[in-house]
Structure 1
Amino acid sequence: MSSPTLLHIHTVILQLLLLSTFVLSHYNYNFSSSSSSPQSNWLPARATYYAASDPRDSVGGACGYGDLKKAGYGQATVGLSESLFERGQICGACFELRCVEDLRWCIPGTSIIVTVTNFCAPNYGFTPDGGGHCNPPNKHFVLPIEAFEKIAIWKAGNMPVQYRRIKCRKEGGIRFSMDGSSIFISVLISNVAGAGDVVSVKIKGSRTGWLPMGRNWGQNWHINAHLKGQPLSFEITSSDGLTVTSYNVAPKNWDFGQTFEGKQFES
């Protein structure tokens, strides 16, 4: 058999380079250098679980979503340690978790996708490598037992896991739940797809320009303005820098206690 020609060798090398470029572009989906951007690489952490004393209880959380089942999050939720929680800005973000390093307790080949709805407070009465699971600098996830058992046997307790930030996929549009009284308006923003978390909000009445809202806590945003009797529009910006605008989401006869649905980010 004759030796391959120099032209043939160059052709093969070029094909391999093109193939490697395609593979990298297909699997790497970091949106920006921001720590809150979705990531393709798996990072180490640990996870524990909690069980409600009564399965009928409505378990809310530090993000302000209230009844998680009614809000559409169900049991696929997670509380984050201080090193991950970002003082509530990360509320609504989605993570994929998988169990690692423990063949006795891990359920192999499984992972679970959860939405951030809660905060695991530090306990400085213990050291981070003792009972202070959520103390800095620990990266720790606290799951409902129903979610934990998707990736590990419940007897495992404090498990090593790997995690990565992913895009959120939600059914329907972004939800705006109205609260407050008189000229104080509080809006809970939930069911956010894409990056999942919200970094800025603007509101507009039919007789106003765009007014910036402040973060009250979690994903509750507030403003002091008289907007009753006006249809309301919202402009939402997520941590990846994308913005979605929903015009006239709430009709002019909107009232406190009502929830309205607007446009949605692509997931």
Structure 2
Amino acid sequence: MSVIVLSGGFIDYSSGWDHAHATFYGDMSGRDTMQGACGYGDLIRQGYGLETTALSSTLFNDGASCGACFEIKCIDSKWCKAGVESIQVTATNFCPPNYTKTVDIWCNPPQKHFDLSMPMFVRIAEYQAGIVPVVYQRVMCHRRGGIKFELKGKSSWFLVLVYNVGGVGQVVDVKVKGSRTNWLQMSRNWGQNWQTLENLQGQSLSFQVKTSDGGVAQSNDVVPSNWQIGQTYEGQYF
């Protein structure tokens, strides 16, 4: 059995821990983390706060990992802050690979890497470290309120941003049903933005959201028939 010693205890890798590295981006205000490749907007308003991270290509999985939650612990570095057990963050952005460089290529495949918001990085490590080795595991996401559906798109196509998802947090499938349609399969446009070309104007809307553990939350008639682009509605809990 592979076991690693941490300050204050042991981590048993049979429980799902793995190795990675962590850096940071932005500043202590978190301004540079507000927009990202998952499609989330104002992360503070949306409930994610500054407890966020960008993922390397290997972990990001073309946006399928958006919304997943991770527990991260700094290890094996003089820069790790003493007495800090771990942090928990939500995947909200992408750390793009850089194939023009031969050093500092932490986000290139097959590296497992977390580019944390600065406030989260300095919770576990000293600022001057720049990069530290970490261990991480997937954890459950704890959200206030139900799933949020932000309506986007144009008259010719319908797009919805799905966020504030609890449980495993990682949405893998979305269906929509208008008051005059059957259930319609939506496709991932980018991040956690899901689309259909069906005209749903003037219909009340229901959604089915499926997460990576197979859980399904169905929000019936969560959107009234007089909806407009730009509005946000709250559905069922996970």
The two structures have a TM-score, normalised by structure 2, of 0.90
- 1:124 is matched with 99
Give 2:64's match in structure 1, choosing from 67, 89, 93. Answer: 89
Structure ID, larger Rg: 1
Give 1:117 shift: 0.3
Corresponding residue for residue 41 of structure 2: 66
Deviations 1:75-101 (A, max 9, x none): 100000011111000100000001101
1:147-162 aligned at under 5 Å gives the runs 147-162=120-135
Are 1:228 and 2:187 matched, yes or no?
no
Residue 207 of structure 1 pairs with residue 180 of structure 2: yes
* CA displacement at 1:49 relative to structure 2: 0.7
Q: Secondary structure at the match of 1:150?
A: helix
Q: For structure 2, which runs of at least 5 residues remain unmatched after alignment?
A: 1-13
Aligned 8 A contact 1:183 1:227 in 2:
no
What is the DSSP-based 3-state SS (H/G/I as helix, E as strand, rest coil) of the residue aligned with 1:178?
Answer: strand
Q: Is the 8 A contact 2:84 2:123 kept in 1?
A: no
Moved over 6 A (4+): none
Partner of 1:139: 112
**Map of 2:154 onto structure 1:** 181
Partner residue, 1:46:
21
Q: 1:238/1:136 Cα in 2 relative to 1: closer, same or farther (>3 Å)?
A: same
Task: Give the direction of change, closer, same or farther, for the CA distance of 1:42–1:236 in structure 2 (3 Å limit).
Answer: same
CA shift at 1:40, angstroms? Answer: 3.1
**For 2:30 and 2:71, how far apart are their aligned partners in 1?**
25
What are the Cα deviations for residues 29-71 of structure 1, in whole angstroms up to 9, with x where unaligned? Answer: xxxxxxxxxx932211000011249765672110000121122
Aligned equivalents of 2:41 and 2:31: distance in 1?
14
Does 1:110 find its partner at 2:85?
Answer: yes
1:164 corresponds to: 137
Identity %: 50
What's the counterpart of residue 255 of structure 1?
228
Give the CA deviation at 1:229. 1.2
Equivalents in 1 of 2:124, 2:214: separation in Å? 32
- How big is each residue's C-alpha offset from its partner over 1:202-251, in whole Å with a ceiling of 9 and x where there is no partner? 00011110000010000000111111111100001111111110000101
The 1:55/1:144 distance shift into structure 2, 3 A limit, reads closer
TM-score computed with the length of structure 1 as normaliser: 0.80
CA deviation profile, 1:168-199 (whole Å, cap 9, x unmatched): 11010000000112131100000000110111
Q: Which runs of 5 or more residues in structure 1 are unaligned? A: 1-38
Aligned residue pairs total 225
Q: Which amino acid aligns with 1:253?
A: N
- Kindly indicate whether residue 168 of structure 2 is the aligned counterpart of residue 195 of structure 1: yes
Report the AA paired with residue 67 of structure 2.
G
Structure with greater strand percent? 2
1:87 counterpart SS class: helix
- The 1-side partners of 2:225 and 2:211 are apart by 27
